[in-house]
A and B are shown apart, each in its own frame.
Chain A
């Protein structure tokens, strides 16, 4: 396994700049997740590292050595695609053996058999080895795709949204297994996704991409608790963060057109007069003697928890409470906000702290 460094990578397609000056480092044995929306440049980054696209500027290093001019085959990376990468004309066994049979490696058949078996066991697909891939379910196919990556020992695993075409239950199960596998093998992995849950739950570190730029790199805790911009704040967490227009008045922080008024908090000194207050739904808690007043507009019971849509003055905000206690629509409600856990953003979306 290797560490991978991207230095000022820029990639253009005709007149579109897909990546703008992207720099980050993936440490040996790290599970690094690139998170971003469609078109943010996540997959392009992956393809540049794999050598399937050539970057226009910048440098790409594996273990400190430049690999910019190596072919995909010579870079020795493993790529797990979102879909369509199993060869339909071959059996599962032949698919798994395919990378080992490449002219670069020329592995003896005995060793191939042993490595395919061991990869199949790790992914619980031994019973599928003789099947044609066309007869597999979505979850099985994606296991085989992952298997094809782990039969050899590449310098890095590159995974392009491998779970996004699976149904929810399967995604949950495979996510846990992937994490377990990666942690117990200590393999360097770059995982690309648009799903914030996947990023938070699996990553050692997350890099957030927005329109070809790297906005923030940090641990899941950093991203969730200290989002660098309102964009990042909105990207992670379900339901999404409440972003409320607010002003400073005589030392207290007042949310416009509402009853919400927080006393001066430590860390709010640099906050401008007009700003955006960010409050995670779990930090809005209804209590009978709460400081603020509002009205319940909508209730969404999810089972383990319930989302309340609260209207306070002209502002709507979401609160998440445990259980499925009975609330009624239209009823007045009092609530508190955890003042020490709120976020401050300037009006241009940058975090203030």
Chain B
């Protein structure tokens, strides 16, 4: 298995910059997810690694081999598409065998290797069907088998679960992760679904506007987002972010609420801010509803999620905070609730630079 290195890789379409120059090293055996909204450049980056798209500047290395100008077929990588891209006129078996035939393997070798991946993915019962007869999940299993059978140096996957039903997506997500654990193959996976990214990855590359926003483990991007975009994008709902004022160790939130900053943060805030303006951020589970809580707001809506309740609390005219609470919590719309914040989980951002303060 290979390491993948991107050195100042950039992509332009005429005037339009689709990917700003980026550096990234993906270790051998690592599962890296490119995460971002549509149009952020994540798929373009993946396609440049695969060779389906040419780079405008910069270089791509597989291990120490420079592959920038190699054809996709010469790069020793496998690509899994969102819409499966199975050949409709071939059976599942023929589809899986196809890449090996292209390489001119002997019939025995092809049969042996097809059987190997078929056993691994447990899709023996599907082999004689054409793609049209298969369910979405089974199609993607066959597509995975076709990618695996070549034993490539790296797997590139472009939203492989995007076309599947929601309930199916969850189980396929676990299957792909299990497969990765078994094979330990370098994998680059593109998705716009932050839950998929969190659940599957070793590291997440968060992208927006053609630029890398943060590279980090799921825990890093969740607890310590580098900027406002990451804070908002990760989590469901995202981090609560309130434009506030800071002075003398006290953050004044909307609606006359105040939060006393812990001593460790005072220095950082003093250094990180260039005015009184600050953005305070906290995850929905960092707020705890208490009768004697320091912060107060009015219930805007309350949502039962089965295992828990998400409370949407209006601090003043516009600002709404999301508070995750146990499912016994039931408040009618318009009632007052008081809550406190867990100081461990409070974060601050500079409103001008939008960067986290730490």
A contacts, CB < 8 Å to B: 37-38, 167-169, 172, 175-177, 179-180, 183-184, 194-195, 197, 200-202, 220-221, 224, 234-240, 280-282, 297-298, 300-304, 307, 309, 320, 322, 324, 329
Would A302 and B195 be within 8 Å (CB), given that A180-B300, A180-B333, A183-B301 are in contact?
Answer: yes
Would A202 and B303 be within 8 Å (CB), given that A300-B177, A303-B198 are in contact?
Answer: yes
5 closest Cβ contacts across the A-B interface? A201-B303, A300-B199, A282-B307, A303-B222, A237-B306
* Contact flags B168-197 to A (C-beta < 8 A → 1, else 0): 001001100110010000000000111100
Whether B304 lies near A168 (C-beta < 8 A) is no
Give the residue among A38, A183, A309 with the most B Cβ atoms within 10 A.
Answer: A183
Closest chain B residue to A198, Cβ basis = B303
With both chains docked as a complex, state the minimum distance between the C-beta of A104 and any C-beta of chain B, in angstroms: 34
Whether A239 lies near B170 (C-beta < 8 A) is yes
Whether A238 lies near B170 (C-beta < 8 A) is yes
Whether B198 lies near A179 (C-beta < 8 A) is no
Residues of A within 8 A of B283 (CB): 303-304
Residues of B within 8 A of A302 (CB): 195, 198-199
Size of the chain B interface, CB-CB below 8 angstroms:
44
Whether B170 lies near A240 (C-beta < 8 A) is yes
Whether B301 lies near A200 (C-beta < 8 A) is no
Whether A329 lies near B181 (C-beta < 8 A) is yes
With both chains docked as a complex, state the minimum distance between the C-beta of B314 and any C-beta of chain A, in angstroms: 9
Whether B198 lies near A298 (C-beta < 8 A) is no
Residues of B within 8 A of A167 (CB): 37-38, 192
Would A301 and B199 be within 8 Å (CB), given that A175-B303, A201-B305 are in contact?
Answer: yes
Choose the segment among B13-21, B137-145, B235-243 that binds chain A (4+ C-beta atoms closer than 8 Å): B235-243
Per the bound structure, the CA–CA distance linking A113 and B170 in Å amounts to 47
- Besides A184-B333, A201-B310, 20 other A-B contacts (C-beta < 8 A): A167-B37, A168-B194, A172-B236, A176-B312, A177-B301, A180-B333, A200-B305, A200-B306, A201-B303, A237-B306, A239-B170, A282-B307, A298-B177, A301-B218, A301-B222, A303-B218, A304-B284, A320-B307, A324-B219, A324-B223
Residues of A within 8 A of B324 (CB): 304
Whether B301 lies near A303 (C-beta < 8 A) is no
With both chains docked as a complex, state the minimum distance between the C-beta of A249 and any C-beta of chain B, in angstroms: 30
Per the bound structure, the CA–CA distance linking A32 and B354 in Å amounts to 41
With both chains docked as a complex, state the minimum distance between the C-beta of A345 and any C-beta of chain B, in angstroms: 18
Tell me which of B177, B284, B306, B333 contacts A183 (CB under 8 A): B333
12 contacts between A and B (CB under 8 A): A169-B233, A180-B300, A195-B166, A200-B304, A200-B305, A224-B304, A234-B167, A298-B174, A298-B177, A302-B198, A304-B284, A322-B285
* Contact flags B293-325 to A (C-beta < 8 A → 1, else 0): 000000011011111001010000000100010
Is B200 an interface residue when CB atoms closer than 8 A count as contact?
yes
With both chains docked as a complex, state the minimum distance between the C-beta of A224 and any C-beta of chain B, in angstroms: 5
Per the bound structure, the CA–CA distance linking A94 and B334 in Å amounts to 34
Residues of A within 8 A of B234 (CB): 303
Residues of A within 8 A of B198 (CB): 300-303
Residues of B within 8 A of A37 (CB): 165
Closest chain B residue to A201, Cβ basis = B303
Per the bound structure, the CA–CA distance linking A236 and B306 in Å amounts to 8
B contacts, CB < 8 Å to A: 37-38, 165-167, 170, 173-174, 177-178, 181, 192-195, 198-200, 218-219, 222-223, 232-238, 283-285, 300-301, 303-307, 310, 312, 320, 324, 333
With both chains docked as a complex, state the minimum distance between the C-beta of B300 and any C-beta of chain A, in angstroms: 6
Residues of B within 8 A of A176 (CB): 300-301, 303, 312, 320
Per the bound structure, the CA–CA distance linking A99 and B219 in Å amounts to 50
Closest chain B residue to A176, Cβ basis = B301
Per the bound structure, the CA–CA distance linking A307 and B218 in Å amounts to 14
With both chains docked as a complex, state the minimum distance between the C-beta of B175 and any C-beta of chain A, in angstroms: 10
Per the bound structure, the CA–CA distance linking A234 and B223 in Å amounts to 31
Residues of B within 8 A of A195 (CB): 166
Residues of B within 8 A of A180 (CB): 300-301, 312, 333
Residues of A within 8 A of B233 (CB): 169
Per the bound structure, the CA–CA distance linking A329 and B180 in Å amounts to 13
Closest chain A residue to B174, Cβ basis = A298
With both chains docked as a complex, state the minimum distance between the C-beta of B234 and any C-beta of chain A, in angstroms: 7
Residues of A within 8 A of B333 (CB): 180, 183-184
Closest chain A residue to B314, Cβ basis = A180
Residues of A within 8 A of B38 (CB): 167
Whether B200 lies near A300 (C-beta < 8 A) is yes
Tell me which of A168, A224, A304 contacts B306 (CB under 8 A): A224
Whether A221 lies near B304 (C-beta < 8 A) is yes
Closest chain A residue to B235, Cβ basis = A303
Residues of B within 8 A of A220 (CB): 304
Whether B236 lies near A168 (C-beta < 8 A) is yes
Residues of B within 8 A of A194 (CB): 166
Closest chain B residue to A179, Cβ basis = B301
Tell me which of B173, B200, B307 contacts A237 (CB under 8 A): B307
Per the bound structure, the CA–CA distance linking A195 and B165 in Å amounts to 10
Tell me which of A175, A240, A303, A307 contacts B167 (CB under 8 A): A240
Per the bound structure, the CA–CA distance linking A238 and B310 in Å amounts to 15
Per the bound structure, the CA–CA distance linking A297 and B181 in Å amounts to 10
Residues of A within 8 A of B219 (CB): 301, 324
Residues of B within 8 A of A280 (CB): 306-307
Give the residue among A179, A282, A302, A307 with the most B Cβ atoms within 10 A.
Answer: A302
